[in-house]
Amino acid sequence: MLFSSTNSCLLFIHSNPNRIVKKLILKSDVVIENFKPMTMEKWGLGPDIFKAEKPELIYCRVSGYGQTGPNAHKPGFASVCEAFGGFRYVTGYPNEPPVRPNISLGDSLAGMHAAFGILLALLSRIRHDGKGQTVDVAIYESVFNMMEAIGNVSSYHLSTALNNSGLYSSKVLAIESSSRI
């Protein structure tokens, strides 16, 4: 369900926006939201509200730190989540602060994880019990998941590639040199 900014504004100016949004959700296969945790519940639009009326609904939630845990209440800015997930640790030049990439990598990775989660929930719904699921995507976890690939690259190849590019982090080289000990 996609809204243009004009439609979104009209829905929330309406005297009873929740009624309209509930009707739209009940006609949908998938709901995707990216508010801070508990925002949809405050509006009476959380996933538990729809389980009885539409048990096959897939409800995807994208936030900075997930729906539960010690940081769930914090807003999820991609740049902060990229740092929290470890990406900023491996960017930049020696003895200088991390470099911010020109793309919002955290948001893009979280969007891909959300799409994968939704597809898996749809597949499960079709193949198994016909029930929907709630998909919880945290931006920092999506970044952290990508960082696993960096750890799986051999130390030698990683340091060689970074040295040859001229863009490297002394922190990565420190990890590389300590792994040989």
Query: What residues act catalytically?
Result: 107
Report helix, strand or coil for 136. Answer: strand
Give which of 139, 156, 36 is closest to 87, Cα–Cα: 139
What is the residue-wise DSSP string for 18-60?
HHHHHHHHHT-SEEEE-SSTTHHHHTT-SHHHHTTT-TT-EEE
84 contact partners, CB below 8 Å, separation of at least 6: 65, 71, 140, 143
Over the range 46-61, which residues count as b (16 or more CB within 10 Å of their CB) and which as e?
bbebbeeebeebbbbb
Max CA pair span of the chain: 67
